[in-house]
């Protein structure tokens, strides 16, 4: 019994991986910095900043750890209780340290370790780069160094919404879906579901979708994506559907399909999706999946269409009209 955490016999830390990538003439300085969950100690922070003055860049590895979040744990620090999180905020001491680094004009990259979403509004607005590394396992350091040094072009997409603040979340005791997940959240996310940057830039052509269809039939969607950069990379092309006219409880939009593609610099590819009645249906109050006549809005892009504070990624949209009688897909 436990938290499903393994203990590898060998671990490559970010420090070890970074040291292995630089030349012998490059000095890599390690600082333990501060207790990552304690209250800030101003004298300690000031001394650290003074030691770091003159460096080219600071790579701050922070976030949270399985020592804080898990099953029935003896943890009692701000933001955590018994292994549960009482706040989604990054521990304040870490933000405080990065604010001090910024004030001292020390360029800082934040590598964030976490097993769940963390609210980092200050970091998102003020740091040149944030790399979300999750809990990376025994070779996490190598993966982090690959991205930091440009040896790997990142293409990961968030499987959850990163909210900006605790107040964006509905009450813990509430079991209503309103306000929960990207499908029902009407506010502005810090980083939306499906979000993730790349060293490549991708451009989407207008969607090719039939103007109308019939209940019980498929709808075809086509789009062209161009790698409008000098760097080869992968793009995760995501397709979402919404039903703006329905009076049933339905997601604001829902992911229905995605495809990962590789594009060389300057390359363009045409991608096709087929939406079946299963993807076009809505589950009614009796639990019956049914396709109803009316407007269907289709979104395709490099992220979900959720409102966001983050730098925008391309999302294009087009409506089609489904005609006919209600079609039961599955009871």
Q: What tokens does 295 get?
A: 């407007």
Residue 55, SS3 per DSSP = coil
> Is residue 331 pLDDT above 90, yes or no?
no
The values of phi and psi at residue 276, to 5°, are: -85, 170
State whether residue 89 is helix, strand or coil.
strand
Q: 3: pLDDT confidence band, cut at 50, 70 and 90?
A: low
The answer to whether the CB of 113 falls within 8 A of the CB of 64 is: yes
CA atoms within 13 A on the CB side of 309: 18
Specify which residues 230 forms β-bridges with: none
- The token duo for 294 is 């009316």
Would you call 188 helix, strand, or coil by DSSP?
coil
| Angstrom distance (rounded) from CA 50 to CA 67 | 30
Is residue 40 pLDDT above 50, yes or no? yes
Q: What per-residue confidence (pLDDT) applies to 7?
A: 75
Decide if 260 contacts 236 (C-beta within 8 A).
yes
Mean pLDDT of the 224-229 span: 98
Domains of the chain: residue spans and CATH: 14-152 (3.40.50.1700), 203-330 (2.60.40.10)
Integer Cα distance of 218 and 183 in angstroms: 23
**C-beta of residue 184 within 8 angstroms of C-beta of residue 291:** no
d(CA 221, CA 241): 12
pLDDT at 67 over 90: no
Residue 33 has a pLDDT of 87
Average pLDDT, the chain: 93
For Cα atoms 234, 194, 292, give the angle at the middle one, nearest 5 degrees: 115
Give the three-class secondary structure for 8. coil
Band (pLDDT 50/70/90 cuts) for residue 1 is very low
Average pLDDT over residues 65-91: 84
pLDDT digits (tens, 9 = 90+) for 99-114: 999 999 999 999 999 9
Distance (Å, whole) CA 306 – CA 183? 9
For residue 76, the model assigns a pLDDT of 78
Mind listing the pLDDT tens digit for each residue in 29-38?
Answer: 999 988 888 8
Q: What is the mean pLDDT of residues 190-216?
A: 97
Q: Report the pLDDT value the prediction gives residue 117, as an integer from 0 to 100.
A: 95
Task: Give pLDDT tens digits for 151-188.
Answer: 999 999 999 999 999 999 988 788 888 889 999 999 99
Please state the φ and ψ torsions of residue 20, each to the nearest 5 degrees. Answer: -75, -15
Residue 5's pLDDT band, with cuts at 50, 70 and 90, is low
Share above pLDDT 90 across residues of the chain, in percent, rounded to a whole number:
82
Q: Is the pLDDT of residue 83 over 70?
A: yes
Residue 129 CB-density burial (10 A; 0-12 exposed, 13-18 middle, 19+ buried): middle
Decide if pLDDT at 73 tops 90: no
């Amino acid at each position: 019994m436990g938290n499903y955490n393994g203990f590898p016999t060998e671990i490559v830390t970010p420090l070890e991986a970074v040291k292995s990538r630089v030349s012998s003439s490059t000095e890599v300085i390690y600082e333990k910095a501060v207790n990552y969950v304690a209250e800030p100690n101003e004298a300690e922070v000031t001394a650290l900043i003074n030691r770091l003055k003159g460096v080219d860049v600071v790579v701050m590895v922070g976030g949270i750890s399985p020592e804080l979040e898990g099953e029935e744990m003896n943890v009692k620090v701000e933001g955590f209780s018994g292994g549960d999180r009482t706040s989604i905020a990054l521990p304040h001491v870490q933000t405080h340290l990065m604010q001090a680094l910024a004030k001292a004009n020390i360029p800082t990259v934040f590598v964030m370790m976490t097993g769940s979403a963390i609210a980092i509004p200050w970091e998102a607005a003020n740091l040149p780069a944030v790399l979300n590394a999750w809990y990376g396992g025994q070779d996490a350091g190598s993966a982090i160094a690959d991205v930091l040094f440009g040896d790997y072009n990142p293409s990961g997409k968030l499987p959850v919404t990163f909210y900006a603040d605790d107040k964006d979340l509905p009450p813990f005791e509430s079991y209503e879906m309103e306000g929960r997940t990207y499908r029902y959240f009407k506010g502005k996310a810090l980083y939306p579901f499906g979000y993730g940057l790349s060293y490549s830039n991708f451009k989407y052509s207008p969607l090719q979708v039939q103007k109308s269809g019939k209940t019980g039939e498929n709808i075809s969607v086509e789009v062209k994506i161009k790698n409008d950069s000098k760097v080869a990379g992968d793009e995760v092309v995501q397709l979402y559907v919404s039903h703006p006219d329905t009076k049933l409880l339905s997601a604001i939009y829902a992911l229905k399909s995605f495809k990962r593609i590789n594009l060389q610099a300057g390359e363009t590819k045409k991608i096709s999706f087929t939406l079946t009645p299963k993807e076009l249906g809505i589950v009614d109050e009796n639990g019956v999946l049914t396709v109803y006549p009316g407007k269907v809005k289709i979104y395709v892009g490099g992220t979900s269409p959720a409102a966001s504070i983050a730098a925008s990624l391309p999302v294009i949209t087009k409506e089609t009209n489904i005609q006919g009688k209600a079609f039961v897909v599955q009871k």
